């Protein structure tokens, strides 16, 4: 099946965004809970490790998807009436 224009453009973006040292999926997922909480708290002053997480999820669609689902899950849990609401 031919790649669509969007898919080819997506490949170009990923190629352009490739950094010399990238974090692996395993390392990203080890830090993803910390990243989700810091982003949810509005923190933009990310340490080097979390900047690497941010770069990785910009490139890796699966880790990006897991970040989004985790973010939603935590929002729901911590929202009013959720099982972990404060």
Partner 1 sequence: MSEPLTGVEAGDRRSDEAWVADLAGDGEARERAVGELRVVLLGGLRRALRNGRGLEDAALEDVVQESVMRILAKLDTYAGRSRFTTWAMSVAVHRAMSELRHRRWKDVSLDRAADDSDFQPERAVDDGLGPDAAAEQKAVLEAMRTIIDRDLTDRQRQALLASIGGMPLEEIARKMNSNRNALYKLTFDARKKLKDGLEQSGFAADDVRSIFAF
Report the alpha-carbon distance of residue 30 to residue 39 in Å, rounded. 16
Are 59 and 81 contacting, i.e. CB atoms less than 8 angstroms apart? no
Contact status: 47 vs partner 1 (CB under 8 A): no
CA 48 to each of CA 22, 63, 77: distance values in angstroms, whole numbers, following the listed order: 12, 18, 28
Contact status: 22 vs partner 1 (CB under 8 A): yes
Contact status: 72 vs partner 1 (CB under 8 A): yes
Shortest Å, Cβ 40 to partner 1: 9
Residues of this chain that interact with partner 1 (CB under 8 A) are 1-5, 7-18, 20, 22, 24-26, 29, 31-34, 36-37, 59-62, 65-66, 69-70, 72-74, 76-77, 81-86
């Amino acid at each position: 099946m031919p790649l669509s224009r969007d898919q080819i453009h997506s490949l170009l973006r990923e190629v352009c965004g490739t950094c010399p040292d990238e974090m692996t999926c395993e390392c990203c997922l080890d830090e993803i809970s910390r990243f989700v909480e810091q982003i949810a708290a509005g923190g933009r002053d990310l340490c080097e490790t979390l900047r690497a997480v941010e770069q990785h999820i910009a490139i890796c669609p699966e880790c990006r998807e897991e970040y989004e689902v985790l973010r939603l899950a935590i929002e729901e849990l911590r929202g009013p009436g959720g099982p972990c609401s404060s």
